[in-house]
């Protein structure tokens, strides 16, 4: 079986398991606001899905996204998930002879998109306590030149959960401007951060911001996000947009309802997931060889190191799945550092976290000396 077929079969089997605790993909499983479900139901009842949505997205939703970000003067294109926005940018703006600069670890797919377009990929290691587990402008400046087409920064970092400080964001924007590169600021997890700085105000002419509803609102399966930037940049990108017939109508109605009810609902989500982080930390702190390199996380997940316990992350993941709990191996994010950790999502019901924490010590004992060879993706 080919890798791409095996990958699909793997996730199809996970999706078919109704008892599975989804704690590996940073998805949000805390109950939705009633208004979001109502918006979807009303859209279905009105038969809205029979027509194409506006090509850039519903005007009200586009305006609400800009308002939520606070980026006056920017504009938004609604996309079928953040990954579609990234695919479009990477294939439109990179190619042979150019470089794509990012961090390691980070989110792997934009680098794969740019490599497929012919770009050289440059990764800057940040899995290091000495650098605070985040990118610094001085590191970036050493890796860019006149060949640099895109600087990709997922911030808060996935999987580490760190935010780049405001002063460094300003300097990173200056570095991008110095070489004329596009700065793609992927802010998928910004709603979970204690303090997050958007790069767009410091480099508006060539910064593209990725905004997603998959994580904070829990609409991962509905595929709705946005690409945000200057009107000039988005005008060029919209000429051959992959969703030129408009994004999913039901998804957009749900997203707008989520933004309207955000102030009433999301604080409870944040409180729950931070409490879940604390619960996991209490257990990890007692397990020999385990630790949390970043705590608290500014994302809705935690990196749990197991390297000093002498355990293979894949073995832990496989054993947890036997107990209907999905967590993720570090190798999904990084070949260089993936042997060090598993990643655990925290926007989940408290009882899921309780189950995970109860199992972790026993699983750590069970997998000692075990090597898991199955493809986990």
**The pairing of beta strand 148-154 with beta strand 99-104:** parallel
| The pLDDT value given to residue 1 | 81
Q: Which residues, in sequence order, are CB contacts of 4 under 8 Å at separation 6+?
A: none
Secondary-structure class of domain 3-31+262-366 per CATH? alpha beta
* Inter-residue long-range contacts of 91-99, CB under 8 Å, 24+ positions, other chains counted: 91/116, 91/117, 92/237, 92/240, 93/149, 93/150, 93/182, 94/118, 94/119, 94/149, 94/150, 95/119, 95/149, 97/147, 98/147, 98/148, 98/149, 98/150, 99/144, 99/145, 99/147, 99/148, 99/149
Q: Is the pLDDT reported for residue 2 higher than 90?
A: no
- What are the sequence ranges of the domains in the chain? 3-31+262-366, 34-258
- Predicted local confidence at residue 175, as pLDDT: 98
Look up tokens 């604080």; give the residue.
267
Supply the pLDDT for residue 205. 98
Average pLDDT of the chain to the nearest whole number: 97
SS3 of residue 25 by DSSP: coil
User: pLDDT value at position 217?
Assistant: 98
Backbone angles phi, psi at 217, to 5 degrees: -95, -15
What are the pLDDT digits (tens) for 53-99?
999 999 999 999 999 999 999 999 999 999 999 999 999 999 999 99
Residue with tokens 């303090």: 195
Residue 206, Cβ density class (10 Å: 0-12 exposed, 13-18 middle, ≥19 buried): buried
Cβ contact 25:11 at 8 Å: no
**Euclidean distance between CA atoms 43 and 25, whole angstroms:** 28
DSSP three-state, residue 42: helix
| 178 vs 98: CA distance, rounded Å | 16
Is beta strand 207-212 parallel, antiparallel or unpaired with respect to 225-229? Answer: antiparallel
Q: How many CB atoms lie within 10 A of CB 291?
A: 17
Mean pLDDT of 336-355: 98
Specify the pLDDT at position 374.
83
Burial per residue of 2-30, b for 16 or more beta-carbon CB atoms within 10 angstroms, e otherwise? eeeeeeeeeeeebeeeeebbbbbbbbbeb
Per residue in 280-314, pLDDT (tens digit) is 999 999 999 999 999 999 999 999 999 999 999 99
Confidence of residue 359 (pLDDT cuts 50, 70, 90): very high
Average pLDDT (345-366) is 98
Average pLDDT of 32-42?
98
Q: What is the pLDDT of residue 297?
A: 98
Q: Is the pLDDT of residue 180 over 90?
A: yes
- Which CATH fold would you assign to the domain 34-258? 3.40.640
**Tell me, what's the pLDDT at 362?**
98
Confidence of residue 254 (pLDDT cuts 50, 70, 90): very high
Report, as an integer, the average pLDDT of 223-241: 96
**Contact of 78 with 226, CB cutoff 8 Å:** yes
The residue written with tokens 């400046």 in the block is 141
């Amino acid at each position: 079986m080919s890798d791409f077929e095996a990958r699909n079969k793997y996730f199809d089997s996970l999706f078919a398991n109704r008892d599975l605790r989804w704690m590996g993909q940073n998805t949000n499983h805390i109950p939705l606001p009633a208004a979001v479900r109502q918006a979807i139901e009303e859209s279905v009842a009105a038969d809205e899905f029979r027509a194409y949505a506006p090509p850039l997205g519903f005007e009200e939703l586009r305006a609400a996204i800009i308002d939520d970000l606070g980026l006056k003067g920017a504009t938004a294109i609604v996309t079928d998930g953040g990954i579609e926005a990234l695919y479009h940018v990477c294939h439109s703006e990179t190619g042979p002879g150019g470089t794509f600069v990012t961090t390691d670890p980070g989110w792997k797919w934009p680098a794969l998109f740019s490599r497929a377009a012919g770009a050289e990929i440059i990764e800057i290691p940040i899995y290091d306590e000495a650098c605070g587990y985040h990118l610094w402008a001085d590191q970036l400046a050493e890796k860019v030149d006149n060949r640099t087409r895109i600087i990709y920064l997922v911030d808060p970092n996935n999987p580490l959960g760190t935010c780049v400080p405001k002063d460094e964001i300003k300097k990173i924007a200056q570095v991008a401007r110095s070489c004329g590169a596009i700065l793609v600021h992927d802010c998928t997890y910004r709603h979970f951060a204690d303090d997050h700085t958007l790069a767009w105000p410091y480099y508006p002419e060539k910064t593209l911001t990725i905004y997603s509803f998959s994580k904070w609102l829990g609409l991962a399966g509905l595929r709705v996000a946005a690409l945000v930037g200057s009107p000039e940049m988005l005008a060029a990108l919209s000429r051959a947009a992959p969703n030129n017939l408009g994004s999913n109508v039901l998804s957009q109605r749900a997203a707008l309802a989520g933004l309207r009810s955000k102030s009433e609902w999301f604080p409870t989500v944040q409180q729950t997931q931070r409490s879940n982080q604390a619960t996991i930390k209490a257990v990890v702190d007692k397990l020999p060889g385990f630790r949390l390199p970043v705590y608290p996380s500014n994302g809705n997940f935690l990196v749990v190191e197991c390297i000093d316990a002498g355990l293979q992350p894949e073995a832990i993941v496989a054993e947890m799945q036997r107990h209907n709990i999905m967590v993720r191996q570090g190798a999904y994010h990084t070949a260089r550092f993936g042997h060090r950790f598993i990643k655990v999502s925290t926007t989940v019901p408290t009882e899921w976290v309780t189950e995970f924490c109860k199992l972790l010590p026993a699983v750590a004992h069970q997998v000692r000396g075990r090597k898991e060879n199955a493809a986990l993706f």
